Every structure is written in structure tokens, then in C-alpha cells.
Amino acid sequence: MYVNAREGEPFEELYRRFKRGMEASGILREYRRKQRFKPAHEERRDKIRAAARKLRRARMKRPA
């Protein structure tokens, strides 16, 4: 991830654009996630739980 400095742009703005780009790309999120090894069964369990949570939220939003 890199950003090109615009002419006359202060460092703070450049840094802010860089941080926003990093967050949008998900590089740091992926890096932190890979810091700890997670066995396949934990990955599957988390994926199933996330899907259930998403389904529950969708049902709550939908009018009865």
C-alpha cells in the first residue's frame, strides 16, 4: 500500500490518507488474524457462528 504525496500536502493529510487506505484494503486486519494459528475446526466453527449471527440479525430487521 502506498500513497503519492500531492504538491503542498502536509504530512498529516498524507498519513491520514495512508491509514484510510490501509483500513479499506484490510491488510492490517489480515495480518492480525494470521498472528495466531487457528486450526481448521476452529475456523469452521467461527464461520458457522458468524453465519448464524448474520441470519439472526437479518430476521430481527425483517418485519414479522
pLDDT, tens digit, for every residue of 38-62?
999 999 999 999 999 999 999 998 7
DSSP string, 24-64: HHTHHHHHHHTTS---HHHHHHHHHHHHHHHHHHHHHHS--
What is the rounded CA–CA span in Å between residue 17 and residue 11?
Answer: 10
Of 15 and 1, the structure prediction assigns the larger pLDDT to 15
Contact between residue 1 and residue 18 where contact means Cβ atoms under 8 Å apart: yes
Q: What pLDDT shows up at residue 64? A: 59
The model carries a pTM of 0.57
